Each structure stands twice: as C-alpha cells, then as structure tokens.
Structure 1
Amino acid sequence: MRKAFKYRLYPTKPQQKDLERTLSLCRHLYNAALQERRDAYKKAGKSVGLYQQKRYLPQIREELPQYKRAHSQVLQDVIHRVDKAFQGFFRRLKAKKGKAGYPRFKGQGRYDSFTFPQAYETGVKLQEGGRRVLLKVFPWRESSHGIGSVKVKLHRPLEGKIKTATVKREGEHWYIIFITEVDPKPLPPSEEAIGIDLGTNPHFLVTSEGEMVEAPRHFQKAEEKLAKAQRELSRKKKGKSGRKKARLKVAKLHRKIANQRRDFHHKVARKLVNAYGTIVHEDLNILALSRSYVAKGIHDAGWAQFLAILAYKAAAHRASGSVLAGRRVIKVDPKYTSQDCPVCGHREKKPLWVRAYTCPQCGALLHRDVAAAQNILAKAWTGPSGETPRAFPQGNTPRSPGL
C-alpha cells in the first residue's frame, strides 16, 4: 500500500527564489500545453494526446534554455497534469452531472507544486540522516548540486520505499510530500460495532454508546480575528505593497483553521478505527445541507472531510482484496433516525431544540442524539427489510448500549 508523508522545508532566500522560478516554468508549460490542445481542437478538430506532447519536451528544452534548468521528469509530470485535467473533464461530461468544468489556465500564484515522479531513482535524496534533502531542480554541474541541500523537518520517521516527491508552496511555507510504498500493518481484530451521529453545535459527534465529542468550532473561534484581517485587506488598493502583506495574513489565518480542523478529524477518526471493527453513519447529502440555513456550522464542522478521512483510515487496512483488520464503514438511510425511539420504535416528530425527551409509548428517557446514533447502528444491523445483512462479521452482534 502507498502512504503519504508531509514535511516542512526551510529553504534559504536564494533557494526559495529558485523554487519559485521552477513553479513559474511549470505554470507556463502547463498553460502552453493546455493552449495547444484547445487550438488543435478548435482549428483542426483534432485532439493532442499525452505522449505527443511529451515528445515535444526535448525540443522545448533545446529552444528555450530556461527549461534546461528544470528536471526533465518534473516537466513530464506537468504534461501528465494537463492530461489528467482533460480526462476529468471528459469523465464529468459523460456523466452529465452538473458542470463538466473545462480545464482552466493557471494564473500567477495559482500553480503551487511540482513533482518528481521517480524520486526513488533520481531528483530527490535525503541527507545527514534526514535533516536535509537534496533537490535536483537544476542540471547537475561540478559546482552545483541541483537547487541544493534544503533543510527539512522530519517530525515523524519516513517509512517504506520512496516512490514520488512533491514540493509544494502553501502561503509563505514550503513542504515536501513523499509517497512511499509500505507494508500494511493490520490492527488487532475487533468485533465491536458503533453508530455515530454527526452534529455541529455543541457536539461534533455522538456515539451509540453515549459518548459525546465536543465540536471544536475552529472557524467560529477565529471569526473575529479573521474579520479584522479581511477588513484591513479590503482597505488596501490593488497593486500596492501593503495589499500583498494583508492578503497573506488572511490566507495564513484560513490555513491555520483548515489545519486545526484536519488535525481534529484525523485524531477522532483514528480513535474510532482503532476501537471498533464496524462504524456506521448516515448517508448524508452534505452538498445540499451546505447550501441550507445550517451551512455555516456544517462547513465549520467539516463533515465531508471527516467522513472521507474515516473511510480512508478504515480502507487503509485492506490489501489484495482481503480485509486485514475487519474495519468497515457503513452508510445507512438517515430517514427518521432522530424521530424513532430506539427502545420500542415509536415515531414522533420533534422540533430541533428538543434535545432530551421521554418516549410517550414506553417511557424511556432519551437523549435525542444518542437515540439517533442507536437508530443508525440498528439500521445497519437489521437492514432495510428487517433481515440480517452481511454488514458485520459472523458471530458479531453490536453492543446494546445503555442510556
């Protein structure tokens, strides 16, 4: 299986300029390849393919000396990105769902990474026990080793065999992302099952066992500071030096909020995957909800990102088509999960502000979100027609948590 490792780079000012020049060269090549495809189809009705464009690269490097300063495989990856953008466009066009999104030109500051597709063979080399990384952006010369040796912070050990390396700019910071090939490490088998109900405020997640994870509300906490920075940016005139500084300040705040949210999602998902063999959640239409009156809270909670991370961490323990650790993430129909009593099945519509209630049918004292999580788990267990599906390992029954 493949795994990503992201580390912070600390280039010197000359090295930073060289990295930015490389990004600029890649951006111009991307736009030129995109323009060639557009013109060929518009003027001659012909399509230009991936390998046809890659064959032009030696000629480009010969006629434009500045492209000799970039690694040949980095330039090949740029052509692959253009081809991938068109493949996505044609796929969306065929699916006929929403806008297909024709590939766009990359403006200045809109192209932020370049990739060494065979970093394990050429282009990137770790030095000094992982304290520095040698990047071959410029050609090898007797007096220079590429862009040079760049300081890197390996905050966690790099595992496996390096396959690709991507240098990425995020605001004022630089990072390197290694994709490595590692042997899967299965978790201990678990036959425990749990249902989770997602929320926005005050709880991000409530489990069928009654555990409540408080919503961190990162955006809400930083909203005042962000509004102040945004007002300062709006006062700056375009083209002035102060505007760039104000824009970077706003971007830095947004990046911090996104990083905090992602870190929180990873930690919560990891705890669930480590503890439970089966995790059940509602199959929510998050796109529609993000356009409703609760959109702000849903965006702050980041449901879509959390569910994607949860599914990834569960699937990361699968190899060769077999489940190594028995981790499963199951989606169920969200209808009536917050209206049904998990004890007797009585259905009663309640306003959202009612968080705890007593079932009029059986007298059970229920917390709305805990009851919803229990109903979510029960739906995966009983199935839509009341039969027992193949959702859980044989011999496993979900625990019946007490209220």
Structure 2
Amino acid sequence: MQKAYKYRAYPSKEQEQAMLSLLNTHRHLYNEALSQRKHFYESEKRTVTYKEQSAQLTQDRKVNPYLAGANFSSCQRTLRRLDRAMQAFFRRIKAGENAHRAPGYPRFRGYGRFDSVEFTIGDGAKLTKDCKARFMGVGDVKIKMHRPILGDLKTARFKKEANGWYVVVSSVLPDFDGEPSENPSVGIDLGLKSFFVDSNGDEVKPPKLYRKAQKKLKRLQRAVARKKRGGSNRRKAVKHLAKFSQHVKNQRGDFHHKTALDLVKKFGKIAHEDLNVKSMIRSLNLAKSCHDAGWSGFIAILSHKAESAGVEVVAVNPRHTTQTCSNCGCLPVVSLTLRDRLYNCLHCGFSLDRDFNAAINIKNKAFPCQENTRSLVASPTARTEPLGVNQEDCLMDFPRSPRL
C-alpha cells in the first residue's frame, strides 16, 4: 500500500531560485520530449518509447549544461511522467471516452504550468534527521514535519503551490494484515441536497464551499481582467486569485478527510454507488453543484482510509437504487423526478425519504447475504417486517407496473 506525506517547506531565497530553475529545466525537457513524440508520429506514424527518449537523454546531457546539472534519475521520472500521459491518452481513445470532443492530447507546459520535480530517495534526495529535505542542486530545505513517516521511503518531490512550497514524500507500507473490522455495515447515498444519507437515516449536510466563496472569487477574477497583460499588477492579482482558490480547495479536502474518517471509525463495511460523475455533470444542469460536492475526491479518500483500517468499501451499480422500494422491491408506477423528495410505494404503501430509501437499497445490494435490518419510517399501511429475500428476486416477483 502506498502512502504520501505532504509537508510545508520553507526554502531560503537562494534555494527558491534553484528550485525555480529546476522546474524550468524539467519543463523544457517535458516539452522537448512531447514535441519529439508528436513529430515522429506525424512524420513516420510511429510512437517514440520511453526507452528511446531515456537513451537520448544521456546524449543531450553532454551538450546541455542545464540537463547536465540536473539529477539523471529525476529527469527520467519526468520522461516517465510524459509516458504515463501518453498511455492515458491512448487508453481514452480505445475506451471511447470523451466521444463528444477530442480525447485530451497531452499539452505543452507553459511558464508556471509545471509545478513539481520528483526525485528518488537515495539518488538525488534524502531526509535528514533535523527535519530537512535534501535535494540535489538545491540543498537542505527546511520542512515542517508535523507527523512521522511510516514504511519504506521511495520518492520525494518539491512542489510549488499558490500559497508556498511543499515537499511530498511517498512510502510503501505492508498491506493491512489485522482482523477485519467488526463494526456494522452501512450504505451511503451521495447527493446534492444532502452530501450523503446513510442507511441508518443519518444525514451529512453539504458545506457548499464554492457557493459561499463565489462572491469573492468573482471580485478577484474581475480584478485580474482589469489589469494589463504582462504587467506586475496583473501577476499580483493572479497570485491573490490563486491563493484564494487554493484555500477553497483545502477547505473541501479537509471536509472530505474528516467525513471519511468518521465513516471508517463507525462502520466495518461501506457501500456506495459507482457514480459516473463526468456523465452526470454533462447530462444535468447542476455541474457547478456537482463540482462543489467533489464526490470523486471523497470516494478516493474514503477508499484509501478504509484500506489502511481493514474496512471494506464496495461500489455498486446505481441502476434503480433510487427508484426501487426498499420494503417490497417494486419499481414505481411513475418514475421519480428530482423534485420528488418522498418515496411513496403504491404496491405496499411504504413511505420514506428518497435518499434514505436509496441508501438502504445500496446497502442491501452490496451485502445481500446479511440480515436485513431496514430502519423503516413507514406509513400506516407499510410493511414493517423484514422480507429476508434477495433484491433481484423482489424485482422478479414484483414486475414494474405499466405507466398510468
């Protein structure tokens, strides 16, 4: 299991200049390698491999003083970075993704668009005992090591963000070998009205961080638009805008980490919908709210925390999780719309909040062999006894009625 540790760095002015110079060197290397791949594909219809470009790097270092002064393995990692981008591009083409537009060819990186350089621990980078990170060509950079690093150290990279410099260290830890968590299982239904509702009926309100920051963001964006291009005042305005955007991003990440940690501590098995967020954003007129919620980032954080705690996370097919009655398994006579917030089943008289109903369905779909422990908020005619049958069997026994 891989784990990354991010620490705030405080380089001196000389070290900062050296780090900026290295960023520029690796940016030029990335662009030259991308240009070479593009040229050979257009002229000879063939793909230049990483091995070919790595061999060419050895020759380029003899004539380029900037590359000669950079760490060789670090330059190789930049070439691998481009190779991964190319492989992802061809994978998107084969999978048919982004059919409505170009599949996203790797871009040339302009000034300020290449923000990190990666080193191998023991070959150009190391951590010292006095809370410093040593990089070849930079020196010992002071870092705020607020937590210890576990596992075998693999890589270290310095990264420039809007609010300063950071050092990111990656390590490899052994897979979790303890006893699986014995806490109860749960299903969660992600949404916009509520960030999620679980199968116990508990609700987590969405923070709506972008919505709250939108007024100030607009003001900072107008300030950038008023400034003359290339001027120092425009650079200052862009920096202020970037710092505030970074602040909103950090707030969202903090909410995701705390919410995921709370779930991992309470439950031993967690089920969620396998959402196609990109498709949802294109099909619904709710793109801004979906981006603000950050479902994909939350699921990634939840999966990572669960892996290190022995908690099982299961993604289920979202088909019919909202439309199916969690009490009898029937589909509604008339499909629910986004405006319908209460689920009323005409087959069994069951009534429940639609998100609560969906969370129960997600849990039962992910863990069908467990005892059904639905928490029903039933209408006077609703069934309150557990059915104890499989969800798919319910759909077969109670076919969907024709639309009235």
TM-score (norm 1): 0.84
Alignment pair present for 1:308 and 2:300: yes
Give CA deviations for 1:87-144 in whole Å, capped at 9, x if unaligned. Answer: 222333333333343322111111111111x21x2222222442x22211x2xxxxxx
- Provide the residue aligned with 2:53 in structure 1: 53
Bigger Cα displacement from structure 2, 160-169 vs 341-350: 341-350
Alpha-carbon shift at residue 60 of structure 1 (Å): 2.0
CA contact (8 A) 2:183 2:266 kept: no
- Provide the residue aligned with 1:243 in structure 2: 234
Aligned equivalents of 2:257, 2:316: Cα separation in 1: 19
Alpha-carbon shift at residue 374 of structure 1 (Å): 1.4
Alignment pair present for 1:338 and 2:322: yes
- Provide the residue aligned with 2:14 in structure 1: 14
Give CA deviations for 1:349-399 in whole Å, capped at 9, x if unaligned. Answer: 4554454476566555522321221122233344xxxxx5xxxxxxx4353
Q: Evaluate the alpha carbon distance shift between residue 197 and residue 126 of structure 1 in structure 2; reply closer, same or farther with a 3 A threshold.
A: same
SS of 1:97's equivalent? coil
Aligned equivalents of 1:209, 1:50: Cα separation in 2: 51
- Provide the residue aligned with 1:34 in structure 2: 34
Which of 363, 370, 380 does residue 356 from structure 2 map onto? 370
Aligned equivalents of 2:352, 2:93: Cα separation in 1: 48
Which of 109, 113, 135 does residue 116 from structure 2 map onto? 113
Q: Evaluate the alpha carbon distance shift between residue 397 and residue 154 of structure 1 in structure 2; reply closer, same or farther with a 3 A threshold.
A: farther
Quick one: which amino acid aligns to residue 127 of structure 1? T
RMSD: 2.4
Alignment pair present for 1:199 and 2:185: no
Alpha-carbon shift at residue 207 of structure 1 (Å): 0.6
CA contact (8 A) 1:273 1:327 kept: no
Aligned equivalents of 1:18, 1:128: Cα separation in 2: 23
Describe how 1:264-303 pairs up with structure 2 within 5 A.
Answer: 264-291=255-282, 292-303=284-295
Alignment pair present for 1:96 and 2:96: yes
Alpha-carbon shift at residue 226 of structure 1 (Å): 0.8
Aligned equivalents of 1:289, 1:400: Cα separation in 2: 29
Alpha-carbon shift at residue 264 of structure 1 (Å): 1.3
SS of 2:237's equivalent? helix
CA contact (8 A) 1:334 1:376 kept: no
Bigger Cα displacement from structure 2, 355-364 vs 306-315: 355-364
Alpha-carbon shift at residue 220 of structure 1 (Å): 1.0
Aligned equivalents of 2:179, 2:161: Cα separation in 1: 34
Runs of 5+ consecutive residues of structure 2 not aligned to the other structure:
378-404
Give CA deviations for 1:169-213 in whole Å, capped at 9, x if unaligned. Answer: 112411111111223444652262211111213x21111101111
Q: Evaluate the alpha carbon distance shift between residue 326 and residue 269 of structure 1 in structure 2; reply closer, same or farther with a 3 A threshold.
A: closer
Alpha-carbon shift at residue 254 of structure 1 (Å): 1.5
CA contact (8 A) 2:269 2:312 kept: yes
Aligned equivalents of 1:111, 1:104: Cα separation in 2: 11
SS of 1:56's equivalent? helix
Q: Evaluate the alpha carbon distance shift between residue 232 and residue 182 of structure 1 in structure 2; reply closer, same or farther with a 3 A threshold.
A: same
CA contact (8 A) 1:276 1:327 kept: no
Runs of 5+ consecutive residues of structure 1 not aligned to the other structure:
139-146, 318-324, 383-387, 389-395
- Provide the residue aligned with 2:80 in structure 1: 80
SS of 1:215's equivalent? coil
Q: Evaluate the alpha carbon distance shift between residue 329 and residue 273 of structure 1 in structure 2; reply closer, same or farther with a 3 A threshold.
A: farther
Aligned equivalents of 2:250, 2:60: Cα separation in 1: 39
Aligned equivalents of 1:33, 1:311: Cα separation in 2: 35
Give CA deviations for 1:276-296 in whole Å, capped at 9, x if unaligned. Answer: 232222233321221221222
Q: Evaluate the alpha carbon distance shift between residue 377 and residue 240 of structure 1 in structure 2; reply closer, same or farther with a 3 A threshold.
A: same
SS of 2:195's equivalent? strand
Percentage identity across paired residues of the two chains: 40
